[in-house]
Structure 1
Amino acid sequence: MRLLIAVGLAAAAIASSPAVAQLPDTILYGVAYYDEYTPVDRVEEDARMMKAAGITVVRIAESTWGTLERQPGVFDFSHIDRMLAAMHRQGIKVIVGTPTYAVPTWLARTHPNVLVVTPQGRADYGRRQNMDITDPDYRAASERVIVALIDHVKDHPAVIGYQLDNETKAYNTSGANVQAAFVASMKAKWPSLDGLNKAYGLDYWSNRINTWEDFPSVNGSINASLSNAFAAFQRSLVTDFLAWQAKLVRAHARPGQFLTQNFDLGWRGYSFGIQPEVDHWKASQVLDIAGIDIYHPSQDKLTGAEIAFGGDVTRSMRNGQNYLVLETEAQGFPDWTPYPGQLRLQAFSHLASGAQMVAYWHWATTANAIETYWRGLLSQDYKPNAVYAEASTVGADLKRIGSKLAGMKKRNRVAIYVSNTALSAFDSFKPNGGVDYNQVLRPFYDALYRMNVEVDILSPNSTAKLDDYKLIVVPALYAASDAEIERLNGFAERGGHLLYTFKSGFSDENTKVRYATQPGAIAKAAGVTYQQFTIPEGVTLEGDPFGVGEKDNTARWWMEMLKPTTAKVVARYKHPSWPAFAAITRNAWGRGEVSYIGFMPSDALIEKIIAAAVDRAGVQPSQPGVHFPVIVKSGTLKNGHTVRYVMNYSAMPQSVVALQDGTDLIRSKVIARGRPIDLGPWDVAIIEEDGPGK
């Protein structure tokens, strides 16, 4: 427990004092590389092949603690030295990962307490990320290997930065030590047990806690308030752990070397939504630059939406800062083998959202263990192939234009507001058989994406100013404080456009249902109330007000029977038993307006609703009149010029009209205003316009 409290203090200190670090002033193009895994001695050949393909950076070491430290305090850096030497000879830079996410066998044997205890019991050894990140013995062993590794590599000229751990989470750690630390945090937050019992509603089913000694393990809790407080505590463990590593690495690194972390996203067979187990906006503050791992469907299912969403989240973590894609797929799963052209399209799609680096996991496919069929840039024969050849074209392009593209900035006028607190609360009471928060969020994001309306992703911990935006979309803000909702409502009152969806404002920040007519603190600003809700069956909107047709003019998953007070009715439900209730409302609020959607629309209906909101807010898409499968993303280059990434996510040729005179940087071709930009299947053009950014 002492360790956790000390680390929390360190996190605050580091967040307020960021280190001075630098990235190369160009786009980095990379792979993860493991000399330890290769079937034969080929590090020199691999480095030469990387150089030939235009690879400029490799990430090493994060997966191989048991190889680096064979026994406690007995280190073998031969693989590290071989990789550093080979890469340096080819002019390739190196990011060194701290190898703490996969513990060695000797640590699990000598200190079995390092293996995480979850509600299902203590983990067995074997899988990665099976440790308790708060355990003192794990921390001591981690510190030893981190210090030894950083001291060994820090002065090598190839080393430009460090990745802290790997896709860090708390891994549902909930053993006795973590429960005790949680109780300590509750004592600090709630000096009075009466206050805690009231805020969390613990009188229900005799869950009341009358003395701190009686505080039970939350593993069996049926109380969402208590369970979600523990989930927030677990997220704080991740922030503290990364802060601890950041402090340790900075104390030993060479000045100018950067710190990053490869956060990952919520997962539905691929990167999908907000990560439930990490507060990215808090955890990223101890870094010099945020990093992300993004994986997505390919072939005919490649839309670019996951690339854009992951990029928008990561760029928004640090209020518009460029970021690193530390892992993305080259070949990946067998059903992800890219069509010709898709690898290029994917790489430049990352840059279009503000990435400063694109790196594949990994260089070559392994021959052993669980990821045998998760393929790298090379297949298991380690020979050049079609994917390697296409990657080489990306490397050649970035060698020419990478320095021009680096440092692009965005100024978006639409934001989506997300919340880990709301996510945990919503997912405690999933409607309609298991629909979760991210399944509500993503269709609203995807609608904006298809319309070429670029967005930032805000959270309660964002430092961005709400008034920098014209429209903020707030999906399913199920749990939020009065102050948080007032901040959003105030944005509308000052002239902004605010769109809430169903199940917003229902409970406070403690997942305690508001004792008020719903939607609680939103009701007055939205000019609407409701008392009844249901799961819709056969419910449509009266008169198909958005013109989507019978199939898509439907309510799904959840339905609130809205009663306007001051709001205008935009749409009403059509159902023989509920003919009078509003489904969508819009209310003037101060100088702005607040809209409320009382149900989950179909995807097609969401796009029409969002299009109307965008239009009312006076927001222009990146390229008006252009819709998916052509995606256009824009930004401002260091030289002040506007750059537009024009991308074709289809197997059919496409054409769009150039908005300004400029140059296609990929093809080194002059583009005249009003002339067509022709795109082949899965193709991309990057247009630097002659005029300044807007």
Structure 2
Amino acid sequence: MNKNKELLFGVAYYFEYLPYDRIDQDIKMMQEAKINVVRIGESTWSTYEPQDGVFDFSKLIYTLNKMRDAKISVIVGTPTYAFPTWLARKFPEVLVENNGNRLPYGARQIMDITSPIYRYYSERIIRQMLQKTVDYENIIGYQVDNETKHYGTSASHVQAGFVEEIKEKFSGDLDTFNKEFGLDYWSNRINTWEDFPNVNGTINGSLAGEFAKYQRSLVQEYLSWQVSLVNEYKKDSQFVTHNFDFEWRDYSYGIQPDVNHFEAAEPLDFVGIDVYHPSQSQLTGTENSFAGDVARSIKHQNYLVLETQAQAFKSWTPFPGQLYQLAFNHIANGANMIEYWHWHSIHNSFETYWKGLLSHDFEPNPVYEEAQKVGHDFERLSDKLVNLNHSADVAFVVDNESLTATSSDWIEFAIGKDVNYNDVFRRLYDIFYKLNVRTDILNPKTINLSDYALVVVPMLYVSDETFLKALNHYIHDGGNVLFTFKDGVTDEHVKVRTDIQPAIIREAIGAHYHMFVDPNGESLEDQTGIFEDTDLQISEWAELLESDGATILAYYNNHWKKFGAITENKYGNGTAWYLGAWPSQSVTNALVKHVIKQSGILQSGYDATFPVIVKSAQNEYGANIDFLFNFSDTSTSLDTPFSGMELIKQEYTTQGSQVTLQPWDVKIIERSN
């Protein structure tokens, strides 16, 4: 397993963007903030190759030399996610084509990652860069590309590649393919391979889902290709990483629809992520947590935060204390590096007001001064906080194919206009987070079910029978699963099963349904007291459940009174819960609390829930480390169940004593018992 020697604290640094050469002053300020790593190079292809075959790495080399002399480590990014104007002029086909339209030049990430011409020129600039940098001992790693996705690429050569993959998958058997994908509908049947139509116009959910999966595989292949190039040059002591991002809703929100992170990360030494979040009064820490759980779970190791915000926008500029708090929050989630995007604020163009640690005047400011405090404490505490080992009793199962299918533009595939896959995932995830229950996040191919006491399966609409049967066996052998509506509906080709739903997992759930409806004003009737004092309204979705032995925890209470909405079933030695509707937040909260209690899940040991968040881990010396965060404007106190040393202020705490957390505060306790 890859390990870091120390906590890394850094920034993205773009000497090429500076209005004048101030690198010596920048380095002096970095050293005063104990910044020990910078990321460079990933955005400036046109500077390094101003004309076809004319290379000028002088600014890159100048920066590397300065950082080497200052003993600051460097991560070099391959500069392929933003290509130069001359390449677009000479070869417009390198611009991505989606839905029959070729994007115009200007923005970043508008390339066709499959274009042979784009690959040729990308390989050339990568090799040229690596040849120039390979002997720099202060380069600790390389980042391949930047927040790579498939960008909707669907040009003719992509369509042809997809057809070849289908041919191989079905051994050339068109009859089987047509049957599995339901292509007799509306005469979409394909009778010769030459007739295979452009998938952009398809009305077939199975075909659209398969094409989206193929597009995601192109990202995996592209990153693997870049990693293989870097591996030809890098030293054994250097790592290769990539900065994955997430579904974007003005900040990092949910599972990325255009990349299968679990597959795309396979060739990397370290998983890297970019995570941005609400700030000021809206800060909860949830985005850092879910993104960190994904990153940590992919390889079951610590990860790198390659980008997160410093000042950024006016609504993101952190309150005093928040930057410091969040730096340790990343460490508590499993990070070994925190790197801000970026060092200085750009003086013109698209991201002028996505501000860095320094404002446009380059002078010290409250955010930079708080970063100084972070850097000094990272250096002081690195030995105790690097390479923390994290464990969880609960796992979420996420799935790209289900996300695609249930977030479709086709209304019959969607849950409702205001609810999609990531909404369901995040509502459930956020509850566990706020109750201080640690979670891993995996997918059906990477999870070892027996590692967990409880597994949460939100909207696994698409699944082969192997995994669904594995869930049944896991429950029967003593495991616990919280299922939701839409679980297990289709096979791996998005073909709805002919069994009574929820089909294969009905055996463990102990209930079934024939129909689902729009609630249309329906609400719930609490049968057990679990949902006492909750808002019993539901919206968007309601499956009409009938018991096959399961206990119905909540019925509908109006037109569908005879049907259940939420069930619990003992199956073998385990328990399955099924949430068959989209209820209020308070009902979901109550259900999750009930599931946690019945599953015997241990919480943090501290009597605390949000806004106090507790994250615990074990360090390399075997000591248990507790991170306590107060995500609020109000001071709060809590009893400590363990004796230990509070590491930031070096104050000893005794078991049963109170610890006070100021607004936006963090305490780190190294337990002594």
Please, what TM-score do these two structures have when normalized by structure 2?
0.98
Q: Match for 2:328: what amino acid? A: F
- Verify: 1:316 aligned to 2:297, yes or no: yes
Cα distance in 2 for residues equivalent to 1:230 and 1:359: 35
Give the Å deviation of 1:525: 1.4
1:315-354 to structure 2, matched below 5 A, reads 315-318=296-299, 320-354=300-334
Aligned to 1:431: 415
* 1:385 Cα offset (Å): 0.2
Instruction: Percent identity, please.
Output: 48
Matches within 5 A, 1:481-630: 481-543=464-526, 545=528, 552-575=535-558, 577-630=559-612
| Partner SS state of residue 396, structure 1 | helix
**Cα distance in 2 between the residues matched to 1:470 and 1:287:** 30
Give the stretch that moved more between structures: 553-562 or 380-389. Answer: 553-562
- Whole-angstrom CA distance in 2 between matches of 1:168 and 1:104: 17
Which residue is equivalent to 1:689? 671
Partner of 1:661: 643
CA RMSD, 1 decimal: 1.3
Q: Output one character per residue of 1:630-663: Cα deviation in whole Å (capped at 9) or x when no partner.
A: 0000011100011011000001011121121111
* 1:214 paired residue number: 195
Pairing partner for 2:427 from 432, 437, 443: 443
Structure 1 residue identity aligned to 2:522: V
How far apart in 2 are the matches of 1:551 and 1:373? 43
Distance 2:382 2:137 in 1: 22
Whole-angstrom distance in 2 between the partners of 1:80 and 1:544? 67
Deviations 1:290-328 (A, max 9, x none): 00000000011000000100000100111x210000000
CA contact (8 A) 1:282 1:461 kept: no
Instruction: Name the stretch that deviates more: 169-178 or 530-539.
Output: 530-539
Q: Is the 8 A contact 1:418 1:477 kept in 2?
A: yes
Equivalent position SS for 2:407:
helix
Question: Contact 2:607 / 2:638 at 8 angstroms: preserved in 1?
Answer: no
* Aligned partners of 1:452 and 1:623 also within 8 Å: no
- 2:391 touches 2:438 (CA, 8 Å); kept in 1? no
Query: Structure 1 counterpart of 2:636, which letter?
Result: Q
CA distance in 1, matches of 2:134, 2:646: 40
Instruction: Say which SS state the counterpart of residue 45 (structure 1) adopts.
Output: helix
Residue 230 of structure 1 aligns to a residue whose secondary structure is helix
Q: Select between 170-179 and 104-113 the one with higher mean Cα deviation.
A: 104-113
Residue from 673, 678, 681 that aligns with 2:655:
673
1:404 equivalenced with 2:384 (yes/no): yes
SS of corresponding position for 1:71 = coil
8 Å CA contact retained: 2:606, 2:639: no
Letter of the structure 2 residue corresponding to residue 506 of structure 1: V
Distance 2:35 2:527 in 1: 53
2:71 paired with 1:96: no
Check whether the contact 1:26–1:406 (CA below 8 A) recurs between aligned residues: yes
Structure 1 residue identity aligned to 2:425: L
Alignment partner of 1:261: what SS? strand
Q: Which amino acid aligns with 2:368?
A: Y
| Aligned partners of 2:527 and 2:555 also within 8 Å | no
Alpha-carbon deviation of 1:232?
0.2
Q: AA paired with 1:611?
A: K
Higher mean alpha-carbon deviation, 665-674 vs 230-239, is at 665-674
Q: What does residue 7 of structure 1 align with?
A: none
Contact 1:529–1:564, Cα closer than 8 Å, also in 2: yes
Residue identity opposite 1:689 in structure 2: R
How many Å apart are 1:544 and its aligned residue?
7.5
Q: Could you tell me whether the CA contact under 8 Å between 2:534 and 2:586 is conserved in 1?
A: no
CA separation in 2, counterparts of 1:535 and 1:216?
35
Asked if the contact 1:546/1:605 (under 8 Å) is kept, the reply is no
How many Å separate the matches in 2 of 1:263 and 1:118? 22
Q: Residue 177 of structure 1 aligns with which residue?
A: 157
SS in 2 for 1:623: coil
Aligned twin of 1:107? 87
Aligned equivalent of 2:176, options 182, 192, 195: 195
Q: Choose from 632, 653, 658 the match for 2:614.
A: 632
Q: Letter of the 2:57 partner, please give it.
A: F
Partner Cα separation in structure 2 for residue 643 and residue 495 of structure 1: 30
Q: Does the 8 A contact of 2:530 with 2:591 survive in 1?
A: no
Conserved? CA contact 1:546–1:608, under 8 Å: no
Aligned residues: 668
Shift of the alpha carbon at 1:551?
A: 6.5
TM-score by length of 1: 0.95
CA shift digits 1:260-314 (9 cap, x unpaired): 0000011111100000000100111100010000000001100000010000010
Larger displacement relative to structure 2 (306-315 or 421-430):
421-430
SS state at 1:542 partner:
strand
Corresponding letter in the other structure for 1:459: N
| CA distance 1:221–1:546, change in 2 (3 Å) | farther
Unpaired stretches in structure 2, ≥5 consecutive residues:
none
Report the CA distance between 1:549 and its aligned residue.
6.3
1:571 & 1:503 partners in 2: Cα distance? Answer: 18
Instruction: Give the counterpart letter for 2:193 in structure 1.
Output: W
**Which letter does structure 1 place at the counterpart of 2:21?**
D
Which residue number in structure 2 is paired with residue 479 of structure 1? 462
- Counterparts of 1:308 and 1:159, CA distance in 2: 29
- 1:160 is aligned to 140
Q: Match of 2:577, as an amino acid?
A: S
Structure 2 residue corresponding to 1:299, chosen from 275, 280, 284 = 280
- Please report how far the alpha carbon of residue 493 of structure 1 lies from its aligned counterpart in structure 2 after TM superposition: 1.3
1:447–1:603 Cα contact (<8 Å) kept: no
Q: Partner of 1:335: helix, strand, or coil? A: coil
How far, CA to CA, are the matches of 2:22 and 2:32 in structure 1? 15
| Aligned partner of 1:224 among 205, 212, 217 | 205
